[in-house]
Structure 1
Amino acid sequence: MDSADLHRRAVLGLPLALAACATGAATSATTTTAAPTTVPTTPGGQSEQATAVALALNATLRYWLHLPAGYHEQRGRTWPLIVFLHGSGERGRDLAKVKVHGLPKLIDAGVAVPAIVVSPQCDDDDEWDPHLLHALLLALRRDWRIDPARVTATGLSMGGGGCWNWAMTWPGDLAGIAPVCGYGSHLRLPRMRALAVRAYHGSDDTVVPLAEQQALVGELRALGGRAELTVYPGVGHDAWNPAYADPGLLPWLLARARPAA
């Protein structure tokens, strides 16, 4: 198989099972269960138990995959992973739509990216679910040689919001995010203060106002986080055009790594 080949895969949610649609290969599903853990008795003498249960997502997620040059030849090497999350306009069942903007567009135009790049696709009526993205990452790590310490995410508009919410919900998944015209809840922001953020926004965005992402970046900084925001004067919602033309973005994503445990 040529190292520049692009593949289409379908991923089933937890318990994880990956079906390799292009090759016909498949792996068996796995289920993780946890035994009840007894905690100290209460003053009234009643014993309590804490129980964990694995919940199945019962979801399927299509994605577009780029393997870097040398992936098949360098069999002992692990690679950084960049997950690109598209905006609302690229939803549907035509996987080619994810190449309209961002990293998939650059790769399709011939830009060499020395990383595994995955762009999943939402159905028409869906938005980015951080739990489904977490399940996707677990499946990708099982089936491709990914360095778990070097996983980053970038995305635009709905995808920018998806980056923020994924990082807040599963902060251990990622080493950094680069959201473009993004947004998100502030409630869980303290959970991601160890993650690096490189955000982009247009000053004249009327779809996702600049103030929304400015507030997230400002609050994260106040919590001691590493966050930066590039604002493009006079640019509206299409800040992804200058953002993905930024020569510093790809090196920044590739340089992110979570500290060793």
Structure 2
Amino acid sequence: MCRFVILLVTALCLLACNNAQQTVSGPQLQRITYQSNVENIERDYFVYLPKGYASDKTKQWPLMLFLHGNGERGDGKKQLGHVLKHGPLYEAWIQKKDLPFIIISPQLPMFGFDKMGIGYIDQRTDDSIPVRLIDGVPERPSAFVTAGELTGAIAVDMTEQAPLFPMGWEQVETDLLDMLTHVKQHYRTDNHRVYLTGLSYGGVGTWYMASKHPQLFAAIAPVVGWGHPSLMQPIAQQKLPVWAFAGGRDSAVVVERFYHGLNTLEQLGHPDVRFTVHEDMGHDTWTRVYSGDDIYTWLLNHKIDK
């Protein structure tokens, strides 16, 4: 009799555990339509909802705004899938990494870059858009081929350099602010944990948006995108936590250009500046950064104290 009771209790416990597991909702990828303030046309952006968002009706989730690189520009409609190629959204949706963030992932307009003879834009096809598999995950793309010996880097004076690349994320600043407002109003976001990160062009855009609106974010993580020293004053005043990343073998955004801005931050009294150089990596340093856990753990350790 005792054995029967024990078996019955065990079976009920297993059934309860299975039912609890079944009630946890899976992640979702939604497309949100908006009217672009820049182009005055209708475009879409992605909103990623993490595992458990739909089933837990009370939890407020950290919010991340991710800005992609130059090669993922597009029309915000048919070409929107290209923003799935790299970064946190690729990790969460394609590689099924369990990231506990609501992720906003917009697409930067072409602004004529598709007519400049840039191979990685002109020659891309929709076949290159990654697809989420029902079972398992696809094989990761090969790392960029990089050449040259490992070397140190000497800082260069960036004073005479333009603070921004032309026709980048600064052009859609108002759109990005509208997206943040919309998601905060229509989704259960933890507005004390709003983060900003981006790679390459998106790294530069991260510096720009942080400089213009430092009070909106709990922490920022620009990846292979340097920040101009002229952008640093508001970030330092807000004491906005920064973790920047560069590749030692990056020939597109060379590490020497990072130091002037980061040193300016520290000279202005910023107490929380991190800089990590992956000496063995090229421009695709972002693959290692976003596929790991450290960047997400670090972001979640910061919140806006208001």
Give the TM-score taking structure 1 as reference length.
0.77
| More off after superposition, 164-173 vs 63-72 | 63-72
Partner residue in 1 for 2:65 = 83
User: Which of 211, 214, 217 does residue 174 from structure 1 map onto?
Assistant: 217
User: Which of 55, 68, 79 does residue 73 from structure 1 map onto?
Assistant: 55
Q: Give a deviation string over 1:127-183, Cα, whole Å, max 9, x none.
A: 213333222211211111111111101111000001100000111111111111112
- Separation in 1, partners of 2:213, 2:232: 11
Q: Give a deviation string over 1:211-234, Cα, whole Å, max 9, x none.
A: 222222221122222111110113
User: Which of 227, 230, 253 does residue 276 from structure 2 map onto?
Assistant: 230
- Separation in 1, partners of 2:39, 2:71: 25
- Separation in 2, partners of 1:214, 1:188: 13
Q: 1:168 to 1:57 in 2, by over 3 A?
A: farther
Answering whether residue 168 of structure 2 is matched by residue 127 of structure 1, we say yes
Q: 1:100 to 1:168 in 2, by over 3 A?
A: same
Q: Give a deviation string over 1:88-127, Cα, whole Å, max 9, x none.
A: 0011131211111111111121111111112111122252
Partner residue in 2 for 1:146 = 189
Larger Rg: 2
Partner residue in 2 for 1:214 = 259
User: Which of 34, 45, 49 does residue 11 from structure 1 map onto?
Assistant: 34
1:161–1:184 Cα contact (<8 Å) kept: yes
Larger helix proportion of the pair: 2
Q: Which has the higher contact order (CA 8 A, sep 6+)?
A: 2
Local SS of the residue matching 2:106: strand
Q: Cα RMSD over matched residues?
A: 2.2
Tell me, which stretches of 5 or more residues in structure 1 are unaligned? 15-55
Partner residue in 1 for 2:203 = 160
1:60: Cα distance to partner? 5.0
Q: 1:106 to 1:201 in 2, by over 3 A?
A: same
- Separation in 1, partners of 2:263, 2:190: 30
Q: 1:8 to 1:218 in 2, by over 3 A?
A: same
Answering whether residue 225 of structure 2 is matched by residue 240 of structure 1, we say no
Aligned length: 219
User: Which of 46, 49, 68 does residue 64 from structure 1 map onto?
Assistant: 46
Larger strand proportion of the pair: 1
Q: 1:213 to 1:59 in 2, by over 3 A?
A: farther
Local SS of the residue matching 1:244: helix
- Separation in 2, partners of 1:186, 1:61: 33
1:235: Cα distance to partner? 2.3
1:57: Cα distance to partner? 8.9
Answering whether residue 103 of structure 2 is matched by residue 117 of structure 1, we say yes
- Separation in 2, partners of 1:139, 1:58: 18
| More off after superposition, 131-140 vs 197-206 | 131-140
1:11–1:139 Cα contact (<8 Å) kept: no
Give the TM-score taking structure 2 as reference length.
0.66
Partner residue in 2 for 1:202 = 247
1:259: Cα distance to partner? 1.2
1:134–1:173 Cα contact (<8 Å) kept: no
2:228–2:260 Cα contact (<8 Å) kept: no
Q: How does 1:18-29 map to 2 (within 5 A)?
A: none
1:13–1:135 Cα contact (<8 Å) kept: no
Answering whether residue 84 of structure 2 is matched by residue 99 of structure 1, we say yes
Local SS of the residue matching 1:71: coil
1:13: Cα distance to partner? 5.9
1:102–1:240 Cα contact (<8 Å) kept: yes
Local SS of the residue matching 2:265: helix
